Structure 1
Amino acid sequence: MKKLLLLTAAAVLAAACMRLPEVPTLGTVELPVAAEEEAVWTSADYEGKPVLVVFMGSWCPYCKMSMPAVNAAAEAYDGKAEVVSVFMDADPETVMKVAKEHNLKAKALYNGGAVAQEMEVTGLPHAALFDKKHRAVKVWEGFSPTLEQEFKEHLERLTK
């Protein structure tokens, strides 16, 4: 019985000493905006606001299917949350063309490969929602027909 008690105490002590996993954060992200005039989007400009980052590719059909959900979030939470589309494309003209074709309301950023790699994005579309302190609260992998409603539900909680 003593051995079992000692083993249990040792296991509890070892667990207490283990480092808990950190909550992923947005960190400092700076990416060029696909626009007529050169501009850079930086996450630091949105401290105190939730941020929804949606990774996309101009060639990705499921990303294009996600754009109405991104548009709805960008319009509904304008001024309350920041919604951005981060394209893997390195060519701003290609991104601007796709954004225009789909009437994309969210800022279209490009050259997002390094940021996607840092955030361990493994497929497109990939959306990550960060709270007002820019801590990750929800991640979506791939397209879903319920994406618009899911964005709304989560953004609603974060913008109250």
Structure 2
Amino acid sequence: MTFSKRLTTTLALRAILALFATLLLDLQALAGELMRVPGRPMAAEFELSAPDGSVHRLADYRGAPLILNFWATWCPPCRAEMPSLQRAHEQLAQDGIGVLAINVGEDPETVDRFRQDFKLDLPLPIDTDTSVTQAYPMRGLPTTFVIDAQGRLALRASGELAWDHPEVLERVRRLK
């Protein structure tokens, strides 16, 4: 193969790889987009305990919007988005809006260690048998729902999202 053909082949491969990388980044951006939930069905009721012994029921959050996140410590996108959920929790608490991050299937010690490592104070109840997780329309982790003040699934994000972004916070606040 001549030098010019190798150069052409190399440049073509680099262009294909660059296009693939761009498409992958676009897909990741779409995965984290906050979308409306068609038909706004009622959110499934639950009662779950957190490692600190606190009990969290969906009914306790009725009357104000709630960000309901499903996550696991072994999930890289979950780990990446958790600091933004903490910051959203801090910013929305003054508006009476809750943030609840339900761990899917892990033990209390693992979740508590994660809470300490990430310096989290938002509630982290655990769905040990995944029955609550299975009651929500989701395919993977992280998946987050924004439940409106009437208890309906209003918005949904599949994948990592910057929950403390001003536009995201404003969309949540509008559900009040």
Verify same fold: TM over 0.5: yes
Percent identity between the two aligned chains:
28
Q: CA deviation at 1:135?
A: 0.8
Cα distance between partner residues in 1 of 2:120 and 2:41: 27
How high is the TM-score relative to the length of structure 2?
A: 0.71
Paired residue for 2:59? 44
Q: CA deviation at 1:117?
A: 0.9
Are the structure 2 counterparts of residues 89 and 27 from structure 1 closer, same or farther at C-alpha, using a change threshold of 3 Å?
Answer: closer
Which of residues 143, 148, 158 is equivalent to 2:160? 143
Is 2:118 aligned against 1:105?
no
Cα distance between partner residues in 2 of 1:44 and 1:142: 26
How high is the TM-score relative to the length of structure 1?
A: 0.77
Cα distance between partner residues in 2 of 1:154 and 1:81: 12
Is 2:148 aligned against 1:94?
no
Paired residue for 1:67? 82
Q: CA deviation at 1:124?
A: 0.7
Root mean square deviation of aligned Cα: 1.8
Q: CA deviation at 1:22?
A: 4.8
Cα distance between partner residues in 1 of 2:93 and 2:156: 21
Q: CA deviation at 1:108?
A: 0.5
Decide whether the 8 Å contact of 2:44 with 2:135 is kept in 1.
no
Cα distance between partner residues in 1 of 2:135 and 2:170: 27
Decide whether the 8 Å contact of 2:65 with 2:149 is kept in 1.
yes
Which consecutive residues of structure 2, in runs of 5 or more, have no partner in the other structure? Answer: 1-37
Decide whether the 8 Å contact of 1:89 with 1:95 is kept in 2.
no
Which consecutive residues of structure 1, in runs of 5 or more, have no partner in the other structure? Answer: 1-20
